[in-house]
Structure 1
Amino acid sequence: MKRLKSLAVSCLLVCTALAGTAQAEGFALYEWGARGNALGGTMMARKPDASAVAYNPALMTQLEGTQVMAGVSAIIPSAKVDVNYGGRTYTGEGADNVWTPPHGYLTTQLKDNLWLGMGIYTRFGLGTEYDDKNWAGRYNIYNAEIQTISYNPNIAFKLTDKLSAAVGVEFMTLKLNMDKKSYGPDPTNPNPASSGLDVDSNLEADSYGWGLTAGLHYQFNDQWAAGVSYKSQVEQDAEGTNSFSFDPLIASNPTLRAIYADCDVKGSVTLPDMIAFGVSYTPIPELSIEVGALLTRWSLYDNLPIYHEPPFYAGAGRLVNQEKDWRDAWRYSIGVEYAATPWMDLRAGFIYDESPARSGKIDYLIPTDDRQLYSVGTGFHWDSYTVDLSYTYIVASDAEYDNQGGGIYEGSSRDGRTHVFGLSLGYQF
């Protein structure tokens, strides 16, 4: 037991240290385990591993003894954004970054019909950075990071030989960092080609919130099974600071310095709930196929209001309101797993991921439209050890931008491509 506690604490520390951000549809992340990555997230109904805590905690009732798992997904996004202004086209290109959302799990059987699980994973995250801080869309954003970490204990019950259920609590931390430019001395005559007199804004804020999780699983027979899981919305009331830096010409102007004065900020946002479904078919013991769908209710994310306390904006304070008006988005998936040998599994998956952003509301924070995800992977298991590897190639559809003001000009995104590498290590006591 002492060894088990040490492993659990180590897993917690490693996952917290590795937590990072990535570009995702909306800004939800679903990379909760290398096996799940390779199978397109189809982990609602099939034979589980310890990552069931995140995918469908009701599946913990199929796990024997005590199991631990920890790993990371390395996400490498890229995209280009063309902005049309003044008869010219300006291109912004994503900076070369690697984002590393972690995952860690512990499950244990307490009684014949009772299991306990703990998960640490990232449900929302975003990393968008343009390699040129002076690109044409800098008045909307040139760097943004949204990072959450979910700490999620669950209890699972075996209600009958075929039906299992689970409930849990989610404690989610959030950190926000946004860098953008503001127009300099003449805000009525912005020129995306100029760079010398902009005001640089750096906003940093953090918060935490609570939610609930639940899951159901039903095993019809040896071949067919179905599962459903739910993660509730989480309210985040963030507080932080916004600091500004100036060109020397602006710094010498007391009126402009009063407008762009460092200040405290606060804002409230609702991170959406998710409900996922899956049906699995196992025609032979070596082969399993699962199809699934996941709904993220992005319609709850209708606005991003950030209030700047005085002395910002000449001592009056100001509400900076970013209307989103997103819609609910579906994620459809299929995954196939084949036990090629007693010690190695082969996996493949496909996902079609809808964009929540409506036409005319797309901005440079998330410069893509619908996505297609192609994934493969393998798993090795011997004695009490498992090693899972995955690779996912994400193709994002081009997005069109309307002239919305606020630094968003007419244009389009293109060449949205992302590589995701996954690694999970597991051990069963």
Structure 2
Amino acid sequence: MKALRLVLLSCALWAVAVAPVWAEGFGLTEWSSRGLSLAGGLVGRADDPSALAYNAAGITQLPGTQIMAGFAVIAPMGTISTEHAGGYSKDTTTKPNVWPAPHAYVTHQLNDRFWLGLGVFSRFGLGNEFAGNWVGRYNLTDVNFQTVSFVPTVAFKVNDVLSLAAGLDIMYASFGMGQQIPTLTLGGGFIPQKGDDNKLDIAGTGWGVGAHVAAHFRLSDTVSLGLAYKSQVALNINGEADFATHGMNFLAERNQVPHAVDCGASSTVIMPDSFALGLSYKPLDNLSFEVGTVWTRWSTFDSLDISFESGYDAKSIKNWRDGWNFNASVEYEPLDWLALRAGIWYETPVTNESYAEFMVPSYGRTGASVGLGFTWGNWKLDLAYAHLWVNNVDYDQTRASGIDSSTGIMGGHSSSTSANIYSGSISYTF
């Protein structure tokens, strides 16, 4: 199949290019431009190739062979306000970055009952970066976490009402994190001095395998219901830890932390499972509405544990809570070749402020999106824009390492945190 070979090549290229996004928790839903413009409202509709990400059972609505590829560009921004001994405060803005989040899909109808599909997209991602000498450097200077899911799927049309789907989630992960570690003066006093910090960099990659199942109910000509479950994925990440700063390892040289030497490092991270529900109402052939919700079991992220081959184990407590996403959307096609779309959504907080850190400076978020769809024969082009308003997180009571009086930070909060998202997808029906 020429179409299948083409999309497999596209999927490989997109997978190499995938990058992280600053999100609530670090779950992503920017899996297609149409999906973004509809605030994720494709669980009940599920009527284009990106259904492989939102509700795979919906691909039984797609005749022949169809492909889709595209990406989102995310531009986050935010400020960390820290309070210090002596009564002064300091505002630090994250470094400006733009992150791409690609996606690619192919669906193929085998016969009247069975469909095959392959999707490549990112379920989780996180990117954040500060200057190396900023006040919160003992907690975090940079983090880069990204996943790519390869999702082979089989869908079965039981009858005109019910369709079912199941498949694997073969997930690749890349993780990188940096922080400064202060060294002690010869007299033993804790007086961090410029140039005496050790920079710890940890980088690794790994794989994990999960599953997904879905159902799509066409209850009438106007009402559809979608259900989709994505399982937990245990990522086994292996890599290296580098403790040197400009070639100097002050911790080891001064015998402050003898085990702080360059070595291998590993971690097992449990990515949460999620359950999505969407109810779609289509009163006219050119007008549809959808409301939905997604529940994500973020309580599985209770800590981040890293084991060093030097014999040291690091444990960072998270104790996150489960999260909910509530969304609503509308799609209107005033012309055969034009579609207008809009959506809104709200996500409940998942971070625990008792262990709040600079890695994920958010406490729930709200989003609004708009989009356009264009059709020329067998081709479709979708464009979308979304804006995220991220709630502030408070650091006054946190027990996170590196955010306390010993580092000169007495409290603080995030502020002015938001993101602009731009997305484009192109699809073709053979």
TMscore range, shorter length: over 0.9
What per-residue deviation string (whole Å, max 9, x for no partner) do you get for residues 48-93 of structure 1?
1100111000000000110000000101101100111222323221
Alignment pair present for 1:179 and 2:178: yes
Tell me what 1:51 maps to. 50
Tell me what 1:313 maps to. none
Tell me what 1:348 maps to. 342
Would you say the 8 A contact 1:185–1:250 is kept in 2?
no
Tell me what 2:389 maps to. 395
1:258, CA displacement in angstroms? 3.3
Tell me what 2:124 maps to. 124
- Structure 1: distance between partners of 2:225 and 2:158: 15
Off by >4 Å, runs of 4+ in structure 1 = 186-192
- Structure 1: distance between partners of 2:103 and 2:252: 49
Matched position secondary structure for 2:28: coil
1:358, CA displacement in angstroms? 1.9
- Structure 1: distance between partners of 2:61 and 2:201: 48
Identity of aligned residues (%): 35
From 402, 410, 424, give the equivalent of 1:407: 402
1:249, CA displacement in angstroms? 9.1
- Structure 1: distance between partners of 2:32 and 2:121: 9
After superposition, residues 20-419 of structure 1 pair within 5 angstroms as 20-46=19-45, 48-87=47-86, 88-130=88-130, 132-186=131-185, 190=190, 194-246=193-245, 250=250, 253-256=253-256, 258-310=258-310, 317-401=311-395, 402-409=397-404, 410-419=411-420
Matched position secondary structure for 1:400: coil
- Structure 1: distance between partners of 2:304 and 2:219: 44
- Structure 2: distance between partners of 1:167 and 1:191: 57
Tell me what 2:422 maps to. 421
Q: Which residue identity does 2:403 align to in structure 1?
A: I
- Structure 1: distance between partners of 2:400 and 2:352: 16
Would you say the 8 A contact 2:178–2:199 is kept in 1?
yes
1:406, CA displacement in angstroms? 1.2
- Structure 1 residues 382 and 360: alpha-carbon distance in aligned structure 2, compared to 1, 3 A threshold: same
- Structure 2: distance between partners of 1:211 and 1:120: 14
- Structure 2: distance between partners of 1:107 and 1:250: 56
Matched position secondary structure for 1:136: coil
Q: Which residue identity does 2:373 align to in structure 1?
A: G
Tell me what 1:314 maps to. none
Per the normalisation by structure 2, the TM-score is: 0.94
Unpaired segments of 5 or more residues in structure 2? 405-410
Would you say the 8 A contact 2:37–2:342 is kept in 1?
yes
- Structure 2: distance between partners of 1:200 and 1:189: 20
1:191, CA displacement in angstroms? 5.8
Aligned residue pairs total 420
Unpaired segments of 5 or more residues in structure 1? 311-316
Would you say the 8 A contact 1:91–1:136 is kept in 2?
no
Matched position secondary structure for 1:111: coil
Alignment pair present for 1:5 and 2:1: no
Q: Which residue identity does 2:318 align to in structure 1?
A: K
